[in-house]
Structure formats: structure tokens, C-alpha cells
Structure 1
């Protein structure tokens, strides 16, 4: 290891540890070949861009490097460095199988007709991506918060889609130098970590607020109403107790009056006493 810097040693160790995954097979083919197969099958290709992707040369390493839009680390190795498939009229969802291109660092799918949500675990599928361009498509739903784990990202282009919801906090992307979400349907404040980018990178989202947009964000008030439970059964019990006491007291008073004054009943009307003789 003499002559190598510490950084170079680390990279060599990483390359050596991952070499087994680069050469793992699916019926005699590498992961990267299977990656391209899955991607081709998951997309509609009206222009025939992917017709050159013919998977017949199983015994020739590096033959996929001749495919349209495919860039390899080395022309004699079936290891995909990047995919450049912009403006090819491709249709369908976010393509399947990209996680099998384990050494891919760039992915350009801009200017197509791709639609639907992005994978929630996109950071696992594109772990080493430095350049991701999905602009000018019809992707929808929320921008996955997992993008914040794609710590190697230098460029993230999501403009001209149909994303909604809030922009996730991307404070972990310290290498990010190019970012745009213009012309979507995003709302809420721009995260602090992204406020360094120019206003043009956020335009076309009327419900975004905060710097650099210049529109104040409305404070969100939470109305909390505390409803005290009414214990009806306790009140009824008290009422019943009072009624019982009153009835008992009335019975006792009536009994005493009838016992000691058997011949008279006393009535009061407007505080004027009247005495009626019931019997002599």
C-alpha cells in the first residue's frame, strides 16, 4: 500500500469488498445486466431507443457498454457507471431494477413521459448516485424524505413535474450544488438547508413560502378544545338520593301530623292559615 493516500486506500478497500456484488450472477449474468433488463421491461419505448439493448452476448463481458445511453466504468466490464436516457419519449413508472446497477453514479431520465410516485426507498436503490435528473416528466406524490440519505448527490433536478406536499429537509446533502423543484405543486416553507439556492429554482409553486421566495409563511395554530366528561350517572344518583330523602322526610312528617292531629289538617295559602275540621 506504499504510495497510496489514506483516501485511496479506503476506496480500494471499498472496490475490493464490492467486487463480489459486481460479479454476482443471475443465470450467468451480472447484476448490471439484470438491471438493464428490468429497466427495459418496465418502460414503454415508442421511439425504439432501447431496441439496441439486445441481451444475447452472455459470454462477452462489457457488451452492454455498447447500448444506447449506457456508460460503463470500463468498456471491457459490465459495470454501469451512468444511464443517459433523457428526451427519449419513454413512458411508465420510475423504472424497476435500478438498484442492481450497484456502481451507477449518474441517472438522467429527464424529458420523458414517466409518471407516478418515486420509490420511498429511493436512497437504497441509488445509494451512490451523484447526479439525478428526473425533470420534465409527470412524477407525482410527495418527494421522498429518503433522498436526504443520498449523501453523494451533487445535482438533484426535479423541476417540471407534479410533486406536491412539502419539500423534505435535505440538510445531510452537503455536496449538493445544483437543486431545482420549479414548476410543481409544492407547499409550505423552503427548508433552511435549501434557501441558498436562487428563487428561480422554486418558482411555479404558488404555495411555497419563506426565503428565498419572499412570501411569509402563515403560522399554524392548533386549536385545542378540552371537553370535560359529564358523568351523568353520578348526577342521577345524587338526584335519586335527594328524592329518597325528601320522600322519607315527607312520610315521617305526615305520619306525625296524622298521629297527633287526627281531626285537623293545616293548609297554608299566601301565609294565611286555614283550619278545616275533618271530623268531630
Structure 2
């Protein structure tokens, strides 16, 4: 029921955006791309040659390389696919103005620095986010879990450190997840245990399913195993000793049985 309610809210949100764009225009999306272009380094000149803003016709930004629009006659960004453009610098700015964007692919570039701590505020309605094969560093913001429509998150091959946020247990739609080849450590959130171990490979400090148990868990299991072994050995030794005594010294048991009532009366 909650999933159906979320889907309904998502559809209503899209309808509201559509109405807003018809009534008020879509200048924010144009400003979004202008700010993005200015905030990144473009050594290959891909954005410089393709993203030309001297046009005021409806849908002109939809012809920009890497830009997908909701409709070709509306300046309303649906998805940004900027993979392998050779872009450099920190995480692009201005994305909060692409208010109806549902997909962002910045993979295979040379972006560096942290992932913004307010990324879920900037792009709250993403269904997929691909930041793989860059040089992003620092910790993974736990606030990413607030992106409730996210179905695919790829952070592979960066320089991310620290733990995978425990808040990632809150994801309900995530179908694709990859943090391989980073510098992550600590336990993997339980909700991610069903993903392949290859999606966590290359992080020497990561532990827990689907990888090996964490050190504390291993020590606890070894301790319990040792206690069980010692208990089993003690029980077996007691049985053997009792059997030997009973077999070779049967009179001791007879004598003990005769004294038992006497001891009982004295107590």
C-alpha cells in the first residue's frame, strides 16, 4: 500500500510540474544548465560547442548534447547523461533548478571533491544516480537515503572513504547498487546484503554479508565455538572417568549407595 501511495504522489508531482511549466515557463531549467556549464571545467569543449544559449525557442535546450527533455518542445530536463565528457572540477552546481529531472549520469569523468551533503535537496526526485569512475572523495552522505524514488545508485571507482551509511537500510526501491573500488570500511547495511559481493569488492575495510563477517562477529563466533568445544570435552571426559571408575571399582558405588541414607538422616 505504501508503495502504491508513493507512486500516486509521484504521478501527481509530475502533473503539477507539467502544469507549472505551461503556466510559468521553464526558465529554471535553462538557468540550471547555464550554471552547470559555468561550474565545471570542460577541456574537450563538448559543452562549449553544444550548449549554446543564444536561442529562446521552446525546447532549444533539448538539442544540447547529453540533455533529454520531457517533451522536445519544452525546456524541461528529464535526464542529464554527461558520461565520458572529460569534465573536471567539483560536483556541478545549479542542479536544483532542474526541478523535474529524474536521472543524472556523471560517470567516467574527472570530477573530484565531496558529494554534496545536501544532494537529496538539490535533486530529490532522481530514479538513478551514476557517479562512477570519477575521483569523488570523503564520506557517502547518508542523506542520499532521502531520495525515495532512487532505483539505481552507482558510486564505483572513486576515492570514497568511511562507512556505507546505515540510513541506506531505508531504501525501498533500490534495485542496482555498486560501491566497488573505493576506500570504504565497516559493516555493510543489512538491506544491501542481497547485492552481489562484486558490487562491494576493492574495499579492504568492508565486511558483513555478502562479504566476510566483520572482525567482532568472527571473534564472537570463535568464542562461542570454543566454549561449546570445551563443554563437550568436559562432558565427554566426565563420562569416561565415571565409566572407568564404575567398571574397575564397583564396590565404591555399592558403599556410596549404603551411606547415602545415613548422610540424608544426619542433614
Counterpart in 2 of 1:158?
155
Distance in 1, matches of 2:60 and 2:183, equals 42
Counterpart in 2 of 1:18?
17
Q: 1:218 aligns with which of 216, 219, 227?
A: 216
| Corresponding residue SS for 2:211 | coil
Shift of 1:7: 9.0
Distance in 1, matches of 2:92 and 2:111, equals 9
Q: Higher helix proportion, which one?
A: 2
- Structure 1 unaligned regions, length at least 5: 1-5, 220-280
Shift of 1:20: 6.3
Preserved CA contact (<8 Å) 2:159 2:183: yes
* Higher radius of gyration, 1 or 2: 1
Distance in 2, matches of 1:139 and 1:179, equals 17
Q: 2:121 aligns with which of 119, 124, 145?
A: 124
- How much is the aligned-residue C-alpha RMSD, in angstroms? 2.3
CA displacement 1:233-269 (0-9 Å, x = unmatched): xxxxxxxxxxxxxxxxxxxxxxxxxxxxxxxxxxxxx
Alignment of 1:129-278 (within 5 A): 129-169=126-166, 170-218=168-216
**TM-score of the superposition, structure 1-length normalised?**
0.71
Distance in 2, matches of 1:12 and 1:168, equals 29
| Corresponding residue SS for 1:218 | helix
CA displacement 1:65-88 (0-9 Å, x = unmatched): 000000000000000000111011
Distance in 2, matches of 1:107 and 1:218, equals 38
Alignment of 1:73-88 (within 5 A): 73-88=70-85
Q: 2:55 aligns with which of 45, 57, 60?
A: 57
Shift of 1:211: 1.1
- Structure 2 unaligned regions, length at least 5: 218-267
